[in-house]
Chain A
């Protein structure tokens, strides 16, 4: 046992001496949370608006003013020639152009009809749909104002209640995802590279011919990363509660339990990868391609799993992060109790058990 602690001390020393890695290890979660929490939003705001207005009358001016007053649009420029429209889009100068016909208000009063054209850059479809909806609503509200006296019959008013995240904050969705990603990064990726390094340098053989049991050698390599990930877990939770105002509404105890299971699982994956490869670069590339990409893409962290094709949904079942993130969402944000995460607990638990056994087996066989 005494030897074990000597080894762990050595490993800690290795990690802490590498000041830059240490700093990044500790601030990466902070940066990611800040970016995701504040900067990354799928809301559509501040779109640059172009206007082609040959009429320049009271109606067109009011509509432009209404659009401008909105946080969705920023009036960028008036376009003098409709032939320039294509060029404006190609330069990426504007996201939406509103085109009025000549004598807009005059015709409106005469015929009761006025045509308005909304041209959007459809490159980003969601953006384009949202923009035209916004603009249509704004124009329609002006229309209603003009027709104050008219009654619009038959209305079904939808009353919308937003559950769990009434302010539609992106952070609610991202915090569990970032936890899943960072823990996987540190536990699996860092561990696999650290062990591969010893193999590459030949120092692993030295350790293995020493009287230490191979299991102890491996455990001592893994313990420091375990500690670092615990620190990261704490940082993420504190930041999300106090800075991003994402509460932990459910059971903190079970939140920690499931995180620990996930951490063990990731560590086992790291050991498994490192026992299969001989060089750091390959360890890194494999854990990047096999572990990180799926966490980013298939776990539901950024993209909803339900919108994926069936095959990918099936595949996502094999991504541990998916279950972890689901459980965290339930515990943290929905405030449910442990009964609701039995399924995730069982799946992650068996995955962890499986990979720990497999990784120790391969490790023994390989060395």
Chain B
């Protein structure tokens, strides 16, 4: 009996003008575009320079800042209000103001200051930008120390700090984002499609014909679940391919680990979609509920921002996002080469979700009205 139901689901999906294209094309496009757009690497910070000193030192400093690669000069002003104006108009993000006595103070007093005013409407950008800038200024002061400070005494006790970045030594941001975006695509497709499926049968009235047959509830749900499971594999393989071809990213660990965990994830997430579909009366309703949960799940999954930095209550909610567990696993396997035994916690959590949501989906599918 199950065979015929599954056959029917596949025929319906394949015959749809839109769905097969979307299943293939959408993840590909998103993976091609998103890692470039979803980029927290701060580059091209627009700098407004206000140099009141006009001295050799100030020029050297400006030169150093510009040649660092993070900044580009978009505005040079004589007074602060002009500089501020350029920030207001979004022409520049940061003002670097060098005081008139800059050179004199360095040589005579060995200490001087510069003023940095950063636009922090986007806190990340403003914060990181001003941190980079201070870093460069700090380096600059070290340079002059080494060059002209013949009398400078080395500190007595010196720490040598060696830093090592494991798993992503070149600190490529796409290495971090791509595995997580693969999960997001999997979640969007294997979440939205089942959520729309049963409610679509309700709106078309075809569910009525099903309900009057002796088909068992779990058979019906299973017949809805299995096609999305297969689709999940297709999506996953496509994204593997893109990650490899475009981002030169292959898993450090085993593909089998990913398949194992991802297949449980798809079951849990599609089960969740079916639950929504069971409760929704209209497609609009299903879509809206799903949108609501998807966006919440994605935002608290640690996809864009670290979970550790969230307040306690948000960390608590994040435990209920199945996405979180697959994102952790995917990143670990891809970048660190973790194996299944090291990822038992997320794996077991996902099994729990899969059992919970699918049981719920079977229970909430009502063959019989009141």
Enumerate chain A interface residues (CB-CB to B < 8 A).
18, 20-21, 24-25, 28, 31-32, 35-36, 38-48, 86-87, 89-92, 95, 108-109, 112-129, 132-133, 136, 139-140, 142-143, 146-147, 149-166, 168-170, 172-173, 185, 189-190, 193-194, 197, 200-201, 280-282, 284-285, 288-289, 293, 297-298, 302-304, 306-309, 312, 326, 329-330, 333-334, 336, 340
A128 to chain B, nearest CB (A): 5
Interchain CB contact under 8 A, A132 and B36: no
Interchain CB contact under 8 A, B163 and A169: no
Interchain CB contact under 8 A, A120 and B157: no
Specify which chain A residues have a CB less than 8 angstroms from the CB of B173 in the assembled complex: 125-126
Query: Which residue of A128, A302, A309 is within 8 Å of B304 (Cβ)?
Result: A302
Distance between Cα atoms of A288 and B26 in the complex (Å): 11
Work out how many contacts link A and B, with CB atoms closer than 8 A: 337
Interchain CB contact under 8 A, A38 and B115: no
A197 to chain B, nearest CB (A): 7
Q: List CB contacts (< 8 Å) of B282-303 with chain A.
A: 282-285, 287-289, 291-292, 295-296, 299-300
Interchain CB contact under 8 A, B39 and A308: yes
B241 adjacent to chain A (CB < 8 Å): no
Interchain CB contact under 8 A, A303 and B157: no
Interchain CB contact under 8 A, A285 and B22: yes
Interchain CB contact under 8 A, B112 and A333: no
15 residue pairs from A and B, CB less than 8 Å apart: A38-B314, A44-B306, A46-B308, A89-B166, A90-B332, A115-B162, A123-B335, A126-B41, A133-B131, A140-B161, A157-B112, A165-B121, A185-B291, A281-B283, A333-B121
Distance between Cα atoms of A118 and B158 in the complex (Å): 16
Most buried by A among B42, B87, B288: B288
Q: Contacts A95-B308, A118-B164, A154-B144 known; A326 to B90 CB distance under 8 Å?
A: yes
Query: Which residue of A35, A143, A165, A197 is within 8 Å of B157 (Cβ)?
Result: A143
Specify which chain B residues have a CB less than 8 angstroms from the CB of A166 in the assembled complex: 120
Query: Which residue of B18, B45, B112, B305 is within 8 Å of A285 (Cβ)?
Result: B18
Enumerate chain B interface residues (CB-CB to A < 8 A).
17-18, 22, 26, 30, 33-34, 36-46, 61, 84, 87-90, 93, 106, 110-128, 130-131, 133-134, 137-138, 140-141, 144-145, 148-149, 151-169, 171-173, 175-176, 192, 196, 200, 203, 279-285, 287-289, 291-292, 295-296, 299-300, 304-306, 308-311, 313-314, 317, 328, 331-332, 335-339, 342-343
